[in-house]
Every structure is written in C-alpha cells, then in structure tokens.
Amino acid sequence: MRLKQIKLAGFKSFVDPTQVPFPAAMTCVVGPNGCGKSNVIDAVRWVLGESSAKNLRGDAMTDVIFNGSTQRKPVSQASVELVFENTQGKLQGSLADRSEISLKRLVTRDAQSHYFLNGTKCRRRDITDIFLGTGLGPRSYAIIEQGMISRLIESRPQELRVFLEEAAGISKYKERRRETETRIKHTRDNLDRLADVREELGKNLDKLKRQAAVAERYKELKASERRYKAELTCLKWLFYQEHLQQAEQMLAALEVDFERFQAQGSGDFRVLTEFKQQLEAAREAVAVSQQKFYQLGADISALEQQLLHQRQRKQGLLDDERNLTLSLQHGLDQMVQEQAQLEELQQQLLKQQPDAEICAQQAEELSELIFQSEQRLVDQQAVQQRLQQQLFDLQQQQRQLQLQSQNQQQQSQQLMLREQQLTLQQQELAATDYQQKLQAASQLQQQLQQELSLQQAAFTQVTSDFENTQQQLQTQQLELSTVELSRQHLQKQQQSLQQQVQQLLAQKLLLPDLTIAAGWSVAVAVALAKLNFSAVLQDHQPEALGNYLFLKDFPKAIPSTSLAAKISSGVMPAYFASIYCAEDDASALQLLAELRLTAAGSGTSVICKNGNWYGLNWRLVAGSHEQDNPQALTEREQQLGLELADLEHEKSALQQNIEALTSSRQQQQLQLQQLQSSLQQLQQQTHQAQTNAQLLAQQQQQVTARLTQIAEELAQVQQQLTQAEQNIELWQLQLAEVDEQLLQQQDKHSAQQQLQLQLQQQLQQYRQQQQQLSQQQQQFALSQVSIERQIEAARLHLQRTKQQHQQLAERLQLLTAQLELLDEPDGAGQEQLQILLLQRDDIAEQKLQQQNLQSSLEQQVRDLEQGQHGLQQQLQSKQKQIESARLEAEGYRVRANNMLELLSEQKVNFSELQATLPSDATESVWQQQLDKASDALNRLGPINLAAIEEYAQQDERKKYLDLQHDDLIAALDTLETAIRKIDRETRQKFKETFDQVNSGLQTLFPKVFGGGSAYLELTDEDLLETGVSIMARPPGKKNSTIHLLSGGEKALTALSLVFSIFRLNPAPFCMLDEVDAPLDDANVGRFCNLVREMSETVQFIYISHNKIAMEMATQLMGVTMQEPGVSRVVAVDVEDAVKMAQA
C-alpha cells in the first residue's frame, strides 16, 4: 500500500483545488521558505485524525481553512482527500479486496469535521481503526515534521514507548483492553443494580398478592358503571338527533331563498360586465388619440427648431467670412517685416568671420608648444617611475630578507621546543603498560559475564515462582469474592425470613400456636393453605367475616398415619384427620392406591413431607406455602444460620490463605526487585567492562601508532632545524648587498625629481595661454551660433506665415460656397409645418368626442354597481342566517357523533344497546344509577387492577433476574480472563519488538555515524507500563544519554531509531519535513544512502533545502507562491529531466 495522491481545496495556503501526485518511491518537495511545503504534511496528519490544533500549527481547528490574502477572500470550508493504492492487500477486513482507497476530511467554519471513507460518511474512529498496527496515524513514527526530531529524542520514556507500541502492533490490543475494562466496570455496576432490583422485587411480591383479592369486586362495579354510562350516552344521542333534524329543515328553507337572490345578482352582474368592457374600449381610444396628439406636437416642435438652427448657422458663417478677410491682410504685413529682419542677421554673421580665423590660428600654434612640453614631461615621468620602481623593489627586497630572517629564527626556536616536547611525550608513552591493563580488563569482563549468567538464571526462577504465587492469589481472591457474595445473599434471605415471621405473628392471620413434628412443617402449611383460616371460633357466628375454623364436632380419635398425628399441641382443622402422611411421592402413590380399594378411601388424601398432596383424582404440587407458616419460616431461618456460619468459617480460612499468599508474594516481589536491580547493575558493569576493554585496545593501538609518528616527526624536526641555520647565514649576506644598492638608487631619484619640477612649471604657463585663447574662440563660436539660430528661426517663421496665409485663403473660399447654399429659400419646411398644425387640430376634436363617450359609460357603470351592492348586502344577510343555522345543526351533529365515539371507545355495539334500552328510560334516572355505581367504586379506595397478572409477571421476572445474575458472574469471569490474555500477549509482543528495534538501532547507529554505539533501555520491570529511554555514544565520546548530544547528533540518532522501527514494521509511506536541516554534507550523504536503501520497501516523501537530498529523489515536487498567500504545485520527474538534458 502506498500514497497515490493528495487532493486539497481550501486547506491553509492551498485555496484552489490542487492535486499532489506521488508516482515515485522517493519524492522531494522543494520550494522557498514560507511557500506552504509543510502544509502538505499537515494535510496528511489532519486526515488521519489529528484533533489537536497545536500539532497543526494553529490555535483552533478552523485555522486550517484558508483565511484570505491581499487578493483573495476567505473560504468557508477546507477539505483534504488521500488516495491510497492497496494492490498488495495490506489492509484487512472489508477493505482487503479494494485496489484503491479514498479517505477524506472536511471542516467548516462552525468547527464541524466530517470524515468520508470511499465517499461514504463515517466516524473518526473508523479512520483510525483502519491503520491500527500499520504504523500510520496522526502522531505515528511515519510522519516526522519540523521539530518532531527534537520532541522524539527529548520525549519522556512513556511517550517514546508509544512509538514501539505502534511498531509492535499492540495499539489495537490496548484499545481492546480499555474496552474490556469498561465492560468489566459496567458488568460490576449491573451486578450492584441487579442485587438492588432483586431485593426490592421480593418485597413487592407479597404486596401484590394481597391486592389481587380486592380487584374482583372492583371489576364487577366497574362493569355496572360502564353499562350505565353507555346507556346514558345512548339517551343523549337520541336527544341530539331529534334537534339535528329540526335544524336541517330550517337550513334547507334558508338556502332556497339565498339561491333566488343569487340568480338575480348574476343577471345584473352580466350587464355590468358588458358596460365595463365598453368603458375599457372607450378609455383605450382616448389614450390612442392622446398619444397621436402628443406625437404631432413633438414633430411640430422639432421642425420649428430645425428652421431656427439654419438661420443661426448662416449668420455665423457671415461672421467667419469677415474675420478671415482681416486675417489675410494682417498676414501679408507680417511677411514683409520678417524678410527684412532675416537680411539684417545675415550681414552680422559675415562681419565676425575674420576675427574668429585669427584666434583659431594662434590656438593651433600654442597647442603644438604644449604637445612638445607634455611629451618631454611624459619621458621624464617614465624615467622617474623606473627609478621609483627600482627603489621600491630594493626596499621590498630588504624588508622580505629581514622578515625571512626573523621568521627563520622563530621557526628554529619552535622546532627546538617541538623536539623537546616530542622527546618527553615519547618517554611518557613508552613508560605506560597498556597490555597489562588490557589483560586485567578482559579477566574482569569474563568474571562479570559468569556472574551475570547466574543472576539471570536466578531471576528467571524467581519470576516463575512469582507468577505462580500471583495466579494462586488471584484464584483465592476470586473464591473469597464468591463466598462473600453467597454470605451476603444468605444474610438477606435470613433478614427477609425474620421479617416474614414477625409479620405473620403480628397479624395472626394463620394458626401460629401449632407444634409440628420435625420435617412436616411444609406439609402442614400446604394443608392450611387450602382454606386460609384467619381465626378460630367455638361455633358458627353469622356476623363474623372472613375464613374461620370451628372447634365444634372436632374428632376425638386421630389416626396415627394422619397429618393430625404430626401436631402435638395447638388447634388444628378437623380435616387433618382424613389426610394421610407419606415420606415421599412413591410411598404416597402406593398408599393412595391401597386407600382406593377400601371404603374409607373416598374423600381421603395423602400428603408428602415435601408438601406434594395427592387425592383420588387430583394432585397439588408444593409451592411457596411455607411463607405462611411461622414454624416453617423459623426452621428455614435456622438452616440459613447454619449455612451462614459455614460460609463465615470458609471465609476466614480463605482470608488466612490470602494473607499467607500475599505475604509470600510480597517477599517474592521484593526478592524479584532485588534480583532485577542486581541484574541491571551486572549488565551495566558487564557493558562497562566490555567498553573499557575496547577502549584500552584502541588506546594501545593509538599509542603504538603515535610512537612511530613521534620518531618520524623528530627526524623531520632535526633536519628542518639544520636547514634553518644555513638559510639564516645566506639571507644576512644578501641583506648587506641590498642596503648598498638602495643608497645609490636614492641619489639618482633626487636629481630626476628636480628636472621634472622645471618641466611642469613651463607646461603650466603654456596651458594658461591656451585657456585664454580657448575662451576667445568660445565667445566667437557662441556669437556665431546665436546669429545662425536667429536666422534659422526667422526663416522658419516666414515659412509658417506663408502657409497660414494660404490656409486662410482656402477657408475663405469654402465659407463663400456654404453661404451660397444657405441662401436658397426654405419654403418646403414652412409647408410641412402648416400640414402638421392642421393634423393636430383634427386629432384634438376626435379626442374630445371620445372623452364625452367615456364619461357617459362611467356614469352607467356606477349606477349598476350601486344596485349590485344593495343586492350583495341582502345576499350577505341570508348567508349569515344560513351559517347560523348550519352551525346549530353542526353542533347537534358533533354532539351526536361524540356520543357515538364515546360508545366506540367503550367498545359497545350501538345497535344492540339501542335495541335493549328500556322504553321508559330517562336521562335523569340513569344518571342517578351511574352516580351510585361510582360512589361504590370510590368507597373501595385505591385498587390495583393488574395485581394478579402483575404478581405472575413479577415472579417470572424474579426468576429471569436470578438467571441474569448468574450470566453476569460468568461474563465477569470471561472478561477478566480476556484481560489476562491481552496482558500476556501485549508483554510478549512488546518484548519481542523492543529486542528487535534495539538490535536494529545497534546496527544502524554505527552505519549512520560511521562508528559508535547506541541501545534502548527499559525504565521499569513491568512490561505493560515501562518507559523506554535511548543511550547513545557517537565515535570518540563516552557513553551518555541522548540529551547531552548536539543537534545534528540528536537528529541522526532519532533517524536511526525511526528507521529501525521501519525495518521491523514498515509503514506504507514515510514523510520527513526538513529532518536533514541540522546535518552537514557528510551526514546528509549517509542519510541519503540509508533512505535510498529503504525506499525499495517504503515510499518516502520528504521536504528539503539540501542539494544532496534533492539529487537523491526520483521525483521533485515544487511548491511556489507567486500569488501572495496562495500555494501552487509544480512537478518535475528527475529521470525525464536527465534524459532531456542528455538528448
């Protein structure tokens, strides 16, 4: 799977719909600072579910919407769509068979985000679930933006752990674990609520049973009330139906009168319509005549205006003719004056030419003298420069020899000091015994390695014991929880039984004074429940209410096998003597078969200890009758007390076992911690010893190489020292010769300077004379130029005057011709004006006639409308009467229908009710009967009509809740087992991933740095909660944490870690935002080689300003911002560009 393209619209600076394709495995996004390159990476992070505006470089989520520029307005929404290729089927589930997948996110100004998967709206969680375990996500290691390198390296151990979890693919396990913990919490809450409901439900069952007896009487009274209500409703319907018929007859008569008036009004309305049509035609004719009248007036005004304009134009032409004649005369006079002025200027120019020629000849002679003087001065200056250069060269040579001599002396001193230093250093290095230190370090490393193996074996054994103890402790705690729940349940049952016993004894509704043989309480309760006695009387009492037991005629002889024999004291029913007893159901059936064969068998029955009661043709199964027997309840209470004592004993034993296991677990945990600490110390010591041994070996090699280098350097220093002494002697001889030559050259230079000064003074005099002649020549030249300009100006002015005179003559001829045309008579215009005036008079007379006809028609229409208005008032009066009658009839109809609806709601057949209604029934009598039935119902008080049905439902619900309780306990066990399984798999996957990433880091780090080492370290023993830290040692540095490295070293370390994760769990693509910024060219080259190597399996999209990184890419994607605030994309295929350049 790889990223095929990104579609942006309104996202940050990408305001226009933009497609950013990624056809190659390595695409580099380039462009100047601030052009919007990083917005491409922000877009990917945003679509993958980023919910923090700060991570998108904003304050609010709406900041990703284009906010306008100097030339653009803000937009209302932003959308980004990612298109993936899934040809390899890396995604699982329903998306596995799709070759292309589209993810889209859209946000509006009201901060509402919408997600789409293949064009279908979905949740944010659906998007994040797709990439769980793939390495992709809004904050995964696959997207490394600006500043993320430093955040990754400087992150806390718990934050760094997240990257390993994503690489291990256990983020989905953590999500499942959170869901399972939530379910466990909900299950426990449900258990608590269920216990409360079950307790409350048990209390309500008793109340419901007592309420059912009163419901039957209520039903009888309610039936009578409904019958009287129905018959009373029927009587009211008959009353309303009679009045309805009378109202409908009156309504029919009113409607006949209304139709008569309406027919009369229709005829008048047709006549009125005809007159209105004639009036409208008359108005249209008047409007047409008016329009014609106005049009003729406009034509007359236009013609009169045209005649006036012709007269005014003729007068203007006459004025122009007079002005042109005067201008021609003035032009002739001006030409004569300009010709005279031109001849005078030409005479002045001829007079100045001889003086100018003499001045020019003198200037030529003086220029020749100046040229000769300058030539001599140039020759003298050349000689002077040669002498000056020779003098400078000798001085420079003198300084160089002095400087070389001084440098050589200093160098000689430095070489002597260097010789002494190298000799001392050689002696010190030779005195150090690195071989002995190396052997000691190797022995220490072997000892630590053996001790580490022993500690690891002990740690493994203690870890196994700790896990076994932990499992036993969890098992004991689970058993203790089960016992505690059972104990609480028994306590609640015991309290409920005590309350029932107290209620029964307080109410005395049964026979509480019976003394029953052991085991036969249930059977006695079942037999007593047959009649449900409420008291004991000596004889029948008519005024007594309820069920009673009479002591009269109580049997004297009681059979030993009867139920009465099981009662040793107290008053019992006489029919107990005819009830035989059996131990179980089989014995009861056998005894019943024997009684059938005897005469005494009729009317007898057999009851079992368990309460099952058998007759000759019937059987009663024992239910909950023991709840009505105080003795049975007391026995049950005692039994519960014994069970409760057993549970208390079992609970104490479990608590003792738990305490022992907890103490053992604590000891093992302490021992485990001690072993873990010791193991870590040994690992660190072993690693340190190994590092020290390597350092000693390297130091020994460095010392040997350094001794060889020092010997060679000493030989070179001694040779250079001898050569330096020889050079000093030679340079001192040369310096003496240069000093003598310098004195001779200085004398020649002084004489030459004196001669040059004399030549310069003579040249200065010649130049002053030349300057005076030049000024005279300039004055002659300026005067001559001025006169020539005046002559040329006079000639041009004369020429223009002649042209103007000719133009004025031509224009005068044209005006004369126009005046001849305007002198023609304008009689045709006057005739047309008279015709238009006559037509306007005819139209005015026609318009007056049409206006008179219109006034007549308007009067007739008004008369007809007044008659129509009077008839309309009469119709409205009849209409109101009809509406009043209709409303009255409708009122009776509605009341009658309401009565029928009441009967329908009561589900009463109206026809049958009307047929059975007595003929002498009246509304008042039936109302009295209804009131009596209602009073009887009110005296009953509050009634629960659904008591019987509700009792059955609640009992069924109680059984259902018991089943639910068992199911919840089983579900809780299942969820806790799932938690343990998830934790076990999470530990295993995290440990495997940690080891593999650590190994990859140790391999990549030396490759990126050109040496050194790095490794990952756990901060805690618990693999579920432990953090991860990085330890790095670049080449030539001691082992240290990542926080002590430079910026470039941190960046390379972070890249090593990220690429190690990529090798373990390659994400579909990787986006890098200027991660090479802190690297120099050498490190950028290593970085590029690593990226090129990994691009075979991973698609890379990176932003860079580095030329080396740009050269590595196979596709360059340029981002420009020619328009301020608006980003655009320009793509370049590097391979095509190379082919084009080669062609």
Residues within the annotated binding site for ATP?
32-39
- Edge to edge, what strands does the sheet with 18-21 contain? 18-21, 2-9, 77-85, 100-108, 113-117, 120-122
- B/e letters for 834-844, b = 16+ CB within 10 Å, e = fewer, are eebeeebeebe
Query: Are 976 and 187 in contact, with CB atoms under 8 Å apart?
Result: no
Considering only CA atoms, which of 522, 630, 635, 631 is closest in space to residue 584?
A: 522
Distance CA 892, CA 896 (A): 6
1026: phi then psi, degrees, rounded to nearest 5: -65, 150
Binding residue ranges = 32-39
Considering only CA atoms, which of 965, 964, 1019 is closest in space to residue 994?
A: 1019
Distance CA 1074, CA 1105 (A): 7
Q: Is 399 exposed, middle or buried (0-12, 13-18, 19+ CB in 10 A)?
A: exposed
Considering only CA atoms, which of 807, 759, 829, 805 is closest in space to residue 306?
A: 829
Query: Are 523 and 609 in contact, with CB atoms under 8 Å apart?
Result: yes
Computed from CA positions of residues 710, 712, 718, 724, in that sequence, does the dihedral angle turn out positive or negative?
negative
The Cβ of residue 453 has, within 10 Å, a number of other Cβ atoms equal to 11
Considering only CA atoms, which of 309, 264, 675 is closest in space to residue 458?
A: 675
Distance CA 22, CA 1095 (A): 13
Distance CA 1015, CA 1002 (A): 6
The Cβ of residue 620 has, within 10 Å, a number of other Cβ atoms equal to 17
User: Would you give the DSSP letter of residue 14?
Assistant: B
Which residues contact residue 717 at a Cβ distance below 8 angstroms, ignoring those fewer than 6 apart?
415, 418, 419, 422
In angstroms, what CA-CA distances link 1033 with 576, 700, 860, 1008, 1052? Answer: 100, 20, 118, 12, 12
The Cβ of residue 901 has, within 10 Å, a number of other Cβ atoms equal to 12
Distance CA 813, CA 819 (A): 10
Distance CA 273, CA 753 (A): 134
What count of Cα atoms within 13 Å lies in the side-chain half-sphere of residue 83?
Answer: 13
The Cβ of residue 1113 has, within 10 Å, a number of other Cβ atoms equal to 25
Which residues contact residue 418 at a Cβ distance below 8 angstroms, ignoring those fewer than 6 apart?
713, 717
Which residues contact residue 1067 at a Cβ distance below 8 angstroms, ignoring those fewer than 6 apart?
134, 135, 136, 140, 141, 142, 1098
Query: Are 926 and 235 in contact, with CB atoms under 8 Å apart?
Result: yes
Query: Are 1112 and 26 in contact, with CB atoms under 8 Å apart?
Result: yes
- Edge to edge, what strands does the sheet with 605-608 contain? 579-582, 605-608, 613-614, 619-620
User: Would you give the DSSP letter of residue 75?
Assistant: P
In angstroms, what CA-CA distances link 330 with 40, 79, 799, 810? Answer: 84, 84, 15, 16
Considering only CA atoms, which of 884, 881, 882, 900 is closest in space to residue 241?
A: 900
Considering only CA atoms, which of 999, 1003, 1006 is closest in space to residue 1033?
A: 1006
Query: Are 268 and 801 in contact, with CB atoms under 8 Å apart?
Result: no
